[in-house]
């Protein structure tokens, strides 16, 4: 598959819609172990990103411009800690595919892996610390190994989704070591991390948007 600017614009539009649908659930999850704003942050961030990305002219923009535009608008729309994390993710995705007019399956996996690494570099969280990294790190690893097995993009993203879903589920048993929920000690046990939950929504939507 070749993913061009128009497909990436559609992908950001789909993510914004998904976050609007999931806003309440994400705020509820964050209400239990954080400050109840995660759904608002994701909805605001992705609606701003989708709008800015949609305004780009596909005739004069490349995928890197799409990711960089998403990063900038996400960062200025979101005051919560997820703002710089996803802004860094999109900057890194843009850098990973620099100079390419459209993206092959392998390029898309490079961008996906760069997002996960960007989140980890920016937030300094390791797997097991009850953050979105517990969804993103296994998702990126699963996408890469599916790609190395020669699977097509959608299958790689479905493998990533499966790993992210399991990773998010596993955050229920973790104590938080990063972010505001780290102050709550073992009171967070039994509750899913909201950032891991929204990562699943994001990866699910990315997978679906290339499913045709
Ligand atoms: P805030 O906590 O500032 O209100 P959000 O509610 O938007 O920000 O996001 C909270 C989510 O951010 C957490 O559930 C967690 O997944 C993620 N998070 C917080 N700190 C970090 C970090 N250092 N590294 C990775 N993810 C983090
Ligand atoms: Mg919050
Ligand atoms: Mg907040």
Closest CA to 67 of 112, 23, 22, 106: 112
Q: State whether the beta carbon of 80 lies less than 6 angstroms from ligand 1.
A: yes
Q: State whether the beta carbon of 85 lies less than 6 angstroms from ligand 1.
A: yes
* Domain architecture of the chain: domains with CATH: 5-209 (1.25.40.340)
Output the residue whose Cα is nearest ligand 1's atom 22: 123
* Residue-wise pLDDT tens digits, 165-199: 999 999 999 999 999 999 999 999 999 999 999 99
pTM of the model: 0.98
Q: Which ligand is nearest to the CA of 194?
A: 1
- Phi, psi values for residue 124, rounded to 5°: 60, 25
Q: Which ligand is nearest to the CA of 83?
A: 1
Residue 134 CA: which ligand 1 atom is closest?
A: 16
Give the whole-angstrom CA distance, residue 50 versus residue 69.
Answer: 9
Closest CA to 120 of 97, 71, 86: 86
Q: State whether the beta carbon of 198 lies less than 6 angstroms from ligand 1.
A: no
Give the whole-angstrom CA distance, residue 117 versus residue 136.
Answer: 9
Output the residue whose Cα is nearest ligand 1's atom 14: 195
Q: How far is the CA of 198 from the centre of ligand 3 (A)?
A: 15
Q: pLDDT at position 210, please?
A: 93
Q: State whether the beta carbon of 26 lies less than 6 angstroms from ligand 1.
A: no
Q: State whether the beta carbon of 137 lies less than 6 angstroms from ligand 1.
A: no
Give the whole-angstrom CA distance, residue 169 versus residue 137.
Answer: 14
Closest CA to 113 of 94, 131, 139: 139
Which residues sit with Cβ closer than 5 angstroms to ligand 3, an ion?
35, 37, 80
Average pLDDT across the chain, whole number: 97
pLDDT at 211 over 90: no
* Residue-wise pLDDT tens digits, 121-161: 999 999 999 999 999 999 999 999 999 999 999 999 999 99
pLDDT at 212 over 90: no
């Amino acid at each position: 598959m070749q993913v061009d600017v128009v497909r990436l614009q559609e992908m950001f539009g789909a993510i914004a819609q998904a976050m609007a649908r999931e806003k309440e659930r994400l705020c509820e999850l964050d209400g239990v172990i954080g400050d109840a704003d995660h759904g608002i942050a994701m909805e605001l961030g992705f609606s701003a990103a989708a709008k800015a990305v949609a305004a780009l002219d596909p005739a004069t923009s490349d995928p890197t411009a799409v990711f960089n535009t998403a990063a900038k608008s996400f960062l200025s729309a979101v005051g919560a800690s997820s703002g710089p994390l996803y802004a860094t993710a999109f900057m890194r995705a843009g850098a990973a595919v620099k100079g390419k007019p459209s993206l092959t399956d392998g390029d898309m996996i490079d961008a996906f892996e760069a997002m996960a690494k960007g989140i980890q570099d920016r937030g300094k969280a390791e797997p097991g610390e009850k953050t979105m990294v517990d969804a993103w790190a296994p998702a990126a690893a699963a996408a890469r190994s599916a790609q190395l097995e020669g699977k097509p993009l959608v299958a790689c993203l479905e493998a990533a989704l499966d790993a992210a879903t399991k990773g998010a589920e596993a955050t229920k048993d973790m104590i938080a070591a990063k972010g505001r929920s780290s102050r709550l000690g073992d009171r967070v046990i039994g509750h899913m991390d909201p950032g891991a939950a929204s990562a699943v929504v994001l990866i699910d939507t990315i997978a679906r948007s290339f499913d045709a």
